[in-house]
Every structure is written in C-alpha cells, then in structure tokens.
Structure 1
Amino acid sequence: MVSPNSAIGCGIISIGMKTRQKNRLSTTPKSPLKSPINSPLKTSLKTPLKSNSSPKKIKSKIKSKVKSINNTKSISKENNKTISDSNTGNLLYGYESELKYLTKIVNNTITTGESNSVLICGDPGSGKTKLVETYLQSIKFNDISIIRLNGFINSNDLSTIRLIGRHFGINANTISDIMSSLKEICKENPLFRAFIILDRFDIFCRRNQTLLYNLFDLLQNSQSICVIGMTTRLDSIDLLEKRVKSRLNQRIIHLVTPFVNFDDYMKYALKELKGQEMNNSLRESLKIQYSLNYSIRELKRVIFEGLVTHKIGVETSDRDAKLFILSQMSIYEVSVLLIANKYTKNQNTTQFHCSAIMDALRHLPQIKINKNLLFKIFHKLEESDLITRHSTIKSSDLLLSEWTKFSLNIDDSHLNQILKSNVFPQYMRKI
C-alpha cells in the first residue's frame, strides 16, 4: 500500500491517509499517481449568460456571489466526522481536510475566475465521487456549467471535444475552431464559470492525449474553468506526455481511508447496522476486512453479507465454519457442489472429475457455464477447502484438466442447510 506521505511527482500537493489524529496537507514531492456516470455529458445548471453590464455592475455581482459562496460554505458536521449538505442529507464520512482543500481550489475559480485543475486518486470505493458530489451539492449558483465525462464512455478525443463545444453552443468541427471559440467565450463573459469532471482520468491518458492537451492549454490561456480528474491509478501523472504535464497544475488529493483507526472503523460499522446487534462472526469478518481493504464500500458489503448469513442461521463461532463459506458462494459454485454430490452418490464413489460435471451441466438450461469458467470455479472451491484435488503425477499438481479428480469436503447436511434459505432459486433444490 502506498504510504500517505510518499512522494507523488515533482511539486505536487497531496492529501494523505488519515492514520493520525490531525490531518494535514503534504507538500512533499510524490511519485505520480465506480461510480458509473448517468450521462457522458450532463448539464446540471444553466448555461452562462453574456454580460454587457458596466465594470462596476460586474464587480458588484461578483462580490454578491462571493458573499453567497461564504454562506454556502457552512457544511454541518456531526461528531466532527460526518459532513452533509443540509438540502440533500447525503453524508460524506471523514475527509474533512480533503474537502476543505478541494473547496479552496475550486472556489478560487468561482470567486476570482482563476483556472485550476486537481486530480483525485484513490482505490475503488474510497470516496472520490462522493467527495466531488458533496462539494457540488454545496454550490448554489445558477450560472455554473458542469460537464461530466467518463473515460469508458467518451472513448474518442475528437468527438469529446465536439461534445464540449456543443454544450456551449459551438457548432465548429475542428479542434482549433472549438478551442478558439471557448477562449472568446471566457474573455467576453466575466461571469462565465465551468467545471469539467473527468472520471477514469487514466483512460484519458491514452495515445496522443489530444483532449487533455487542449483542455490544459485552455486553462493556461483563459480563465473561469476548473478541471477535476478522478482515477484509481497513482501513476496517472507518469502516463502524461511532457507537453500535457507542463500545463497541468499537478495538485493531487490522495484518498486512502476516512477512518482514523480500527475503533473509528467499528464505530461507523455500528452506525450502519442501525441498532441491530453485531454478532461474533460479523465482528471477525470486519477485522479481517479492515486488514485487507478499509473502504466504506467494502465495509457495507461485509455488513450486508453478515446480516444475510445471520438471517439464514449461520454462525461461524458456534456452528460449522463451512456453512459460512458456503453462504458466500455464488449460484454457479453451489450448483457445481450439488452436481458433484449427486454424481458421487449415483456412481457410488468419493471422487469426481470436471468432465462429469460439465456433462451434467448441459442438462440444466438455467445454468450456462463454459469450460474456462468451470475451471475457475474449481480453483475457488479448492482454495476455500470445499473440495480436495487428487493427483498421482507430481507435474500435474499445478495443472487442471477435464480429468483431474476431486473429492468433496462437505456432506449432505451442509448443502441441505444452505438450500433451506431463500437465497438460492427453487430449481437448485431439484438437482
């Protein structure tokens, strides 16, 4: 895991992991660096209006906007850990200093018209999108254009630049005409403000990097535009060409975890349970998950699985641990175990092989499993100690073929207990 204080690129401002009680900004040089977007291009606010007012009126309007920004900056905090917008009620747990730093950068664009760029990096589920959305929900302006782009959706740089141009009423086809028109819009309208959000920023760092070069060149030669990138790769800066990197502000917010320590992690877990009791198996699962991945997304997943497991009556501390493992398996994996159990009974043997399971699966139209997927299922079942491989040739210990023999490490009582729950479909009980 990357240390919060490790260097990322020359001159990059990074916000590190909250392993200390006091979060602070790290200005040390660092080695460079899900949520699906509803639309590749989304305008959440009105398009900018041209202003023919006198300079005095423009200044007074800007001052009034600055005053309203200061009023909207007040974000309520709960126990100094939860940040929420009073209108939406959406919560951002932790990341107070990161939100403050992002607010400072983007507010410079709103109040002074200074063009900025910031890159937010972190593991999937660490809270990158939530951090940006929390800030955007606190803005109460009607003349800020917000453009959302995603590297998966906007796969062509030229079409993406044209898409940005059409958003501002520019119908030109060439990149130079679109960029020159955008520069004119920025110069003619002092109240013009625009945010461009690039999700999956690392995918935009593809060959040629035409989009990134023109965007950051626009930031250098015009005002009132802020580019916010989000990525899971820490080395995204290294993927940039020199001409692009030289135009990037190289401000980075590195999100690792909103939790200060394990006690804070468990405190949030209890809050997610909403009054329900935390059993021993769930507590142990959370301890293991904290050592592997302490994102909020994974914490919620473990809590959900723990509640489902508890609902069907599986307790790892009091009963069979294999029941708990079975409850985590998918429909395909449990189906393979049921077929293997039926095969050993019909053949009056303790062993089975992949070819026999594949032949039996062909008679089940509800389950479609190809050869490669079946081999992956066997590997997972073997790692979970639900089946054991039998091999007489040493060289084949690491290989898996259609005739590799296995034996079950579970019996009918395990499978019957799992099938009693409502988690699996009815047709599986007829296997």
Structure 2
Amino acid sequence: MSKRKGKETHMPIGECITQVQSILRARFCSQQLPERPKEMESQHKHLLELLRRTAVHGESNSVLIVGPRAAGKTMLLNSVLRELLEEKEVQKNLLQVHLNGLLQTDDRIALKEITRQLHLENVVGEKVFGSFAENLVFLLEALKKGDRSSSRPVLFILDEFDLFAHHKNQTLLYNLLDVSQSAQTPVAVVGLTCRLDILELLEKRVKSRFSHRQIHLLSSLNFQLYLGRVQAQLSLPDSFPDTKFAREWNSSVKTLCKDKAVEGVLQRQFNSSKDFRSLHALLMLCLSRVTVANPSIKPADLLDASSLCMADAKANILHGLSILELCLIIAMKHLNDTYDGEPFNLQMVYNEFKKFLQRKSRSIYNFDQPVVMKAFEHLQQLELIRPVDSSVAKTQHEYQLMRLMLDHCQIMEALQKYPQCPTDVRQWGMSAFG
C-alpha cells in the first residue's frame, strides 16, 4: 500500500484543473475521433486500396463516400490516410488538397485554395489564364518532375461534395474528374456527402467522367453507445499526472452520465444531431465552467450549456422588439391563422392592428402609419419577415406581399418571456383569432 502511495504524484488543484482544461480542450477543438472506425473493415480496405493505387502506382481514381451525418465518413478517410502515410514512399510523394463546399463557394475561390495548398503561388505569379481548365492543368504540370512515372500524385478531398455540384457549370468537378480520367497526372478525387441522390445532381458530362465508385456508410449509433462516447470524451487518460485527481474526475463523469436530467439533455442532443462536432460544442461549454471552486462538471452545468446551444436565435430577437413591433408580429400571426399561411402585406397588417386598437380603445398604442411602416421595415431587416418575390420593384411598399419567418411556438414563447409585456397584448397574442 505504501509503495503505491509513494508512486502517486499529487499536484495542487489549480494545476490539475489547468491540465484538465488543456487535455479536454485539445480533444474537443481538434475534433479528436476514434483512430479506427468499428464495423467498417470492408469500406476501410476498399478505400485504402483505391488510394494506394494512386499514391504508389500512379493510377487515377475517383470515389464518393456517402452516408448520413455522424456515420463516420471523415473518421474513415482519416484512418485510411493515417495508415497510408505510414509508408515512407507515400509520405514523400503524396500531395493533399482539402476543399469544403461550405468554404469554397465558387470555382475561383476553390482554385485559389488549390494553389495555396500546393504552394504554387510563386509559380502562378501574375500569369493570366483563358479558362479554369488551363489554370488547373498549369498547376498540375508545375508539380511534374519529369515523365508521368515521376509525377507527384495529388489527392483532392471534397467535403460537402453536393455543394460543389451547385457551382456554375460544375466547372471544378468537371475538370478534376476529367484529369483523373485522363493520363495527365495521377489524381484521386474523394468526395464526402450526405446526399444519397448525389449522382442525380451531376451534369451529364461530369457524370460520364466519374468512376461511379461509391462507398456507403450507415450510422449504427444508438443512445447507449452515444452515452458511452460522451463519458469517454470527458474522461481523463491513464497518463494524467495526478492519478488520485484523475480517478475522482472519472468517477464524477460516470455519475454525471447516469443522472436522469443529464440523460434527458443528451437524449435531446442525440435526437437533434448525432454529429460529434455539435456534441463537442456542448461539452466545451460545460468545460468552461470548471474552476478551482467548481472542480467537476455538475448536472446543472450541462443543463445550462444545453439551453445555450438549443437557444432559438429568432425567439431571442423577439425579446428585444418594441411593443409596436411585437404587436405587428401578433397581427401577422392572426393573419396567418385566418388565411391559412397565405402571404400578407403591410396594409393588411395595419388593418389587423387597428382592429385590436378599436376593441381595446387604448390610445397608448395609437401610432401613425409612417411609424408603423418604419417598424415593419425593421422587422424585414431582422429577417423576421421576407418578401415573397424580391424582384418585384414596381409594387408599392405597403402592398408588397410578405411571409412571416416565425412559427406559432416561437411567438408564444416570446410572449411568455417578453419583459413587462402588457396584459392586453399578451391576451391578444394568445387568442386563437384576432
């Protein structure tokens, strides 16, 4: 017993908390995932073989990894790349270009990013190219050291692949797949997407150059596995310097995951998104509450973090509206109820608001029409309402058709939480029809 005690090192609580923050923040911020995906051996083997043929033998390929969010598409690709780059020959030669449809929103931005990642800014310099294809071919030619056998293979990874299909003429996809099909440079194009109908989005000329290889993944994650992963994400490793603190921390995490209120929060999170990126955002908020005075994560911390993550941005905007703007939102709600969601205009909203004033005989809400119009415009700027057809410029502003971008529940919640909301306004909002 004394020997084991002698081996244990005890650190001040402040240093332990600093270490906890450092370890877990690194885990959440770098989106650390399991090194090897389970139950994906055949997909792993298939993808590894494809990429090895490009990296080692100079054979061009294209493949799509298709599956729902949190199915493990990125994890599968990363594990294959990790295994592939362990081979020295591959490590020296293989070039990688990572593009994301959410970031590279058009082909010009994508080409700029390809140039940056291949470190060819100096080679391109001030050169002017006639077309996208010429520019891309020039970039790939610049990588060559001699004949095809000595050309460095390039791996293009296109995350959110379906968004690239919305680029004008699908120029980027066409040229990448065209290069991968021709004998110019060894290129592998790997697309990651959630869309099962992705091939239907591709133009005929793009589809004809795609190999039609698809690797499908299905999410086998259930809530019990999800709970286990939450516990694993929050637990400290065996290598933690203070073993006693690590034991106590891991024990508190185990207790936390068994709490009924916490299970309810995590069940809602699981139902809304099984993606570990959103889970890491939630756990990061919990971790920010850990201090010397509060050296473990409590159920209340998780509940508060969940309410912040799940907060409805539009409902929060409603809390900051003026009484007039809130009245206009209620008038729109009643118009939606009466006319079954049909669009409305400012004049209709103003008439509905006047009906409320006549019933209540309250001069306190008696605003002139220009003031009401200004409030209406402010609601449009906040994007709580939007024009049905923004191209219609000739229509007078008060007769332009609009749609309410809020649902019934958001308005009801705002009325309940609105600070010092007048009783008659609340009652008007709660009533079935205006």
Using structure 1 for the length normalisation, give the TM-score: 0.51
Query: Residues 354 and 196 from structure 1, CA distance in 2 versus in 1: closer, same or farther, beyond 3 angstroms?
Result: same
* AA matched with 2:94: I
- Aligned position for 1:103: 48
Q: Which runs of 5+ in 1 are unaligned?
A: 1-83, 317-321, 344-351, 360-367, 389-401, 409-431
- Aligned position for 1:217: 178
* AA matched with 2:162: D
Matched positions, count: 286
- Partner deviation per Cα, 1:187-235 (whole Å, 9 max, x = no partner): 7141321111223322222332222222212112225211112233222
Which deviates the most, 324-333 or 100-109?
324-333
- Aligned position for 2:267: 287
- Aligned position for 2:129: 173
Distance 1:256 1:187 in 2: 43
* AA matched with 2:205: R
* AA matched with 1:297: R
1:230 aligned onto 2:220: no
SS of 2:92's equivalent? coil
- Aligned position for 1:157: 107
Question: How far has the Cα of 1:290 moved from its partner?
Answer: 3.8
* AA matched with 2:149: P
Question: How far has the Cα of 1:111 moved from its partner?
Answer: 1.9
Query: Residues 112 and 172 from structure 1, CA distance in 2 versus in 1: closer, same or farther, beyond 3 angstroms?
Result: farther
SS of 1:101's equivalent? helix
The structure with the larger Rg is 2
- Aligned position for 1:270: 231
- Aligned position for 1:194: 154
Tell whether the 8 Å contact from 1:196 to 1:228 is kept in structure 2 after alignment.
Answer: yes
- Aligned position for 2:37: 94
SS of 1:257's equivalent? coil
SS of 2:176's equivalent? helix
SS of 1:208's equivalent? helix
Question: How far has the Cα of 1:118 moved from its partner?
Answer: 1.5
- Aligned position for 2:97: 147
1:136 aligned onto 2:78: no
SS of 1:198's equivalent? strand
- Partner deviation per Cα, 1:71-96 (whole Å, 9 max, x = no partner): xxxxxxxxxxxxx9xxx986346354
Structure whose residues are more often strand by fraction: 1
Tell whether the 8 Å contact from 2:70 to 2:219 is kept in structure 1 after alignment.
Answer: no
- Aligned position for 1:296: 276
* AA matched with 1:173: F
Query: Residues 165 and 381 from structure 1, CA distance in 2 versus in 1: closer, same or farther, beyond 3 angstroms?
Result: closer
SS of 2:274's equivalent? coil
- Aligned position for 1:204: 164
SS of 2:174's equivalent? helix
Distance 1:195 1:145 in 2: 6
Distance 1:253 1:302 in 2: 30
SS of 1:246's equivalent? helix
Structure whose residues are more often helix by fraction: 2
1:245 aligned onto 2:207: yes
Distance 1:246 1:331 in 2: 44
Tell whether the 8 Å contact from 1:150 to 1:198 is kept in structure 2 after alignment.
Answer: yes
Distance 2:108 2:302 in 1: 56
- Partner deviation per Cα, 1:2-22 (whole Å, 9 max, x = no partner): xxxxxxxxxxxxxxxxxxxxx
Query: Residues 160 and 264 from structure 1, CA distance in 2 versus in 1: closer, same or farther, beyond 3 angstroms?
Result: closer
Query: Residues 334 and 115 from structure 1, CA distance in 2 versus in 1: closer, same or farther, beyond 3 angstroms?
Result: closer
Distance 1:154 1:338 in 2: 35
Tell whether the 8 Å contact from 1:281 to 1:306 is kept in structure 2 after alignment.
Answer: no
Tell whether the 8 Å contact from 1:120 to 1:254 is kept in structure 2 after alignment.
Answer: yes
Query: Residues 189 and 338 from structure 1, CA distance in 2 versus in 1: closer, same or farther, beyond 3 angstroms?
Result: closer
SS of 1:142's equivalent? helix
Which deviates the most, 236-245 or 120-129?
120-129
* AA matched with 2:169: N
* AA matched with 2:214: I
Root-mean-square deviation over aligned CA pairs: 5.0
Which deviates the most, 125-134 or 376-385?
376-385
Question: How far has the Cα of 1:386 moved from its partner?
Answer: 7.8
Tell whether the 8 Å contact from 2:65 to 2:214 is kept in structure 1 after alignment.
Answer: yes
Tell whether the 8 Å contact from 1:355 to 1:403 is kept in structure 2 after alignment.
Answer: no
Q: Which runs of 5+ in 2 are unaligned?
A: 1-26, 236-249, 290-296, 331-363, 365-377, 386-403, 418-424
Q: How does 1:334-345 map to 2 (within 5 A)?
A: none
Distance 2:104 2:320 in 1: 44
Tell whether the 8 Å contact from 1:257 to 1:294 is kept in structure 2 after alignment.
Answer: no
Distance 1:131 1:143 in 2: 22
Using structure 2 for the length normalisation, give the TM-score: 0.50
SS of 1:234's equivalent? coil
